[in-house]
Amino acid sequence: MAEAQQVPQSPLATDATSTYNLTVGSVAVDGYDPVAYFPEGGGTATKGDARFEMAHNGVTYRFSSKAHLDLFRSNPSKYQPAHGGWCTYAMGKDGAKVEVDPTSYVVAGDRLFLFYKDFFTNTRASFLKDQEGLTAKADANWKRLTGESPRMGTPASLQRQLDELRDRANKAAPAERIAVYEEGIREIAASGVLESALKVGASAPDFTLMSAAGPPVRLAELLKSGPVVLTWYRGGWCPYCNLQLRTYQESLADFKAAGGAHLVAVSPQMPDSSLSTQEKNLLEFAVLSDPGNSVAHQYGVAYRLPESVVNAFKGRLDMPRFNGDDSWELPLPVTYVIGKDSRIAYAFIDADYRKRAEPADILAALRALQSP
C-alpha cells in the first residue's frame, strides 16, 4: 500500500464535505453514478451526467439517467458508497482514507465498496481474500474516525428468506454436494453468460410463448398497455424459484398499480409442468414455457450446467422430463423491467440461483418509469 496516496486524517468531521471522498463541487464517486453499480442499475461502473444531479446531506451525486436519480432519491442510504467513498481495503487494514478508482468496486450485502487501483496495485483483490473480516474492520474504523454508524446492508425480505432456505439445504446436504454446487456457481459466473445477458438500456426482443393456462402471450401486446416485469425461473422443481414466485404474487397488486405493469414468469419447462407450478403456488400472473430456452438465448441468459452439476443432478432430478430436452440448459434467475418503449429499465442479473430480485427494487423501477 506504499504507493497509495493517503489523505491526511482530521478530527471527527462535522459535515460530509470534510469526511467523504469528494471532488471539486462536493461531487461523490468522482462523478460516477452510484446506482449503476447495483444490479438494478446495470451492474457496471458508469459516469454520471451533470443534468441528473442531486445533493444529499451536503454531498452531490450524479446519475446517468433520471430513472437512476429517482431510484437514489427513493433510498439514498442503499446507494451511498460505504466508508465515505474511500478505499474499503485501506479503511479495514489500518483506518486510512485512501483514494479510489471508481472502476474498481464490489457490490455485496446490498452495499457498494470502492478500491484503490493503479498500474501495479488493485486492493480489490486483497479485499476479496478476507471480505467479511475487512468489512467488519472498515466499519469499526469508519465509526471511530467519523462517529458515523455504517449502514449494515441487512438483506431485504425475499433475500433473507432465500438465505434461510439455503442454510437449511446446506445443513441437510452432504458436504461434497455443497462443494459441487458452489463450484458450479463459480463456473457459471466465468462462462460469459453474465456478459451476454442484456443490460439496462438494451431493447428487449419481442417473443410469443405458450401460457400455462390460456392463449399464447406476446410481449409486444402486453407493452401496449403497460410496462412488463419479465422474470426467469429454473423450474417448479427449484425451491428457490417457488419462493420467489410466491413472493412476487404477494406484490402483484403493487406492480399493477405502478402504471398497469404486467408480471410474466418464464422457464424452459413444458406447459404441463408450468401449469403445475402456477397451480401449486396459486399464481395469478402469466407463467410461460420456453422449451429449448429459445427466448432465453435471445436475451443472452441461457447457459449449460457445468458437467459436475449435471452429474450431481442425475439420479436425483429428471430434468429432461420437465424441460422437454436433454440439453441441461437453464436460464439465469434474471428479472427485467421493460418500459412501454421496449427498453430495459431495470436488470437483476446474477449467476447464483439462490439470489433473486427484490420486489421493492422492482417496484422502485416501475415507479421511476412513471416519473415525467
pLDDT score at 319: 60
pLDDT score at 126: 93
Residues of the chain with pLDDT under 70: 1-18, 151-156, 315-325, 372
Round to whole Å and give the CA distance between 303 and 174: 26
Round to whole Å and give the CA distance between 363 and 285: 16
* Amino acid residing at 285: F
pLDDT score at 5: 42
Q: How do residues 341-355 score in pLDDT, each as one tens digit?
A: 999 999 999 999 999
Q: CA 94, 23, 125, 121 torsion: positive or negative?
A: negative
The overall pTM is greater than 0.85: no
Helix pair 359-370, 157-172: axis angle to 10 deg = 150
Round to whole Å and give the CA distance between 36 and 318: 39
